[in-house]
Amino acid sequence: MDDQTLRLRQNYRRFRVLVMGKANAGKTTILQKVCNTTDQPTILNARGQKIGLSVVVPSEERGVHNIENEMIFAANPRYVFHDSRGFECGSAEEFKIVQDFIEQRGRARNLREQLHAIWYCLPADNASRLLTGAEARFFQECDPGAVPVIAIYTKFEDFVLQTQEFLMSRGLDEEDAFEQASVTASDHFSEEYASIFDRMNFPPSRDVKLQRMYDMNEPDTKCNELLEKTADALGDDTLRKLFVCIQQNQLDLCAKWGVKR
């Protein structure tokens, strides 16, 4: 480990991410993949006290969840995650809680409290309704400042299968339709559905399409692209090196940004 990397680890100990998206958007699975674990996280409240895992289980009891709670995985405790359950109720109060959190954490002078990135999970299995009205409001009205927002399109394998079915309805056989869908679905999704962000005041800095997140053994599910695009989106080189430093077994990422392990 070189001297610069050592200083980074001493001065910047944790990388803080706000994870947004409605229930069942695949958020916890993504965090497990990033931290290379199948374990559930430890949940800490704002006072650093351990609390029950039930607070992150989807519930109809609004108000139980607190965006200030920290989610930490033992496999990589240098990540600190905050969970926002999105704006499923569309309330002004929910929107303001998220907006205030991003503004206050984004500008925090205490390095331990700063927010560094936002990962917004959007299921692609219902692409025609990619954004609800409340979610569109986030990208239209919530200025994240210097904090990059990465749009994560989850369940993208469903969109590929839908594309395959469409091609089969146009006369292609099953195998050829799947092969063509695997090649064309990504561009079609970006042009037809993700282009909605072109009309937003604060569109995502980067986006990534994730497939087969349910299978830990699939090589495509290791979130390498998410990590690389997050690093690309970070505007501060010191912060970028911090982010790269906390990755485990990501030698390509370290080599790209000149970080020696």
Residue 104 has pLDDT above 70, yes or no: yes
Q: Find the mean pLDDT for residues 230-241.
A: 89
Higher pLDDT, 63 or 138: 138
| pLDDT-derived band at 215, boundaries 50, 70, 90 | low
Residues of the chain with pLDDT > 90, as a percent, come to 51
Instruction: Say how far apart CA 148 and CA 144 lie, in whole Å.
Output: 7
Instruction: Say how far apart CA 261 and CA 251 lie, in whole Å.
Output: 8
Give this prediction's pTM: 0.87
Reduce the DSSP state of residue 42 to 3 states and report it: strand
| pLDDT-derived band at 24, boundaries 50, 70, 90 | confident
Instruction: Say how far apart CA 186 and CA 2 lie, in whole Å.
Output: 39
| pLDDT of 58 | 46
Q: Find the mean pLDDT for residues 182-187.
A: 95
Residue 54 has pLDDT above 70, yes or no: no
Average pLDDT of every residue of the chain:
84
119, β-bridge pairs: 19, 150
Edge-to-edge, what's the strand order for the sheet holding 149-154? 50-51, 42-44, 70-72, 79-84, 15-20, 117-123, 149-154, 206-209
CA distances from 153 to 2, 20, 93, 98 (A): 36, 12, 26, 20
Answer whether 148's CB lies under 8 Å from 231's CB.
no
Q: Find the mean pLDDT for residues 185-198.
A: 95
192: region left, alpha or beta (phi > 0 left; psi from -120 to 50 alpha):
alpha
| pLDDT of 211 | 84
Using only the alpha carbons of the chain, give its radius of gyration: 19
Instruction: Say how far apart CA 152 and CA 8 lie, in whole Å.
Output: 28
- With both helix axes pointing from N to C terminus, report the angle between 224-233 and 237-245 in degrees, rounded to the nearest 10: 160
Instruction: Say how far apart CA 87 and CA 37 lie, in whole Å.
Output: 28
246 contacts: CB under 8 Å, gap ≥ 6: 15, 76, 78, 79
Query: 133 is written with which tokens?
Result: 């009205």
Answer whether 239's CB lies under 8 Å from 12's CB.
yes
| pLDDT-derived band at 63, boundaries 50, 70, 90 | very low
| pLDDT-derived band at 62, boundaries 50, 70, 90 | very low
**Alpha helix locations (H) across the chain?**
3-11, 27-34, 92-106, 133-141, 156-169, 174-192, 224-233, 237-245, 251-256
Determine whether domain 14-252 maps to CATH 3.10.450.50: no
**Which of 37, 147, 253, 7 has the alpha carbon at shortest distance from 243?**
253
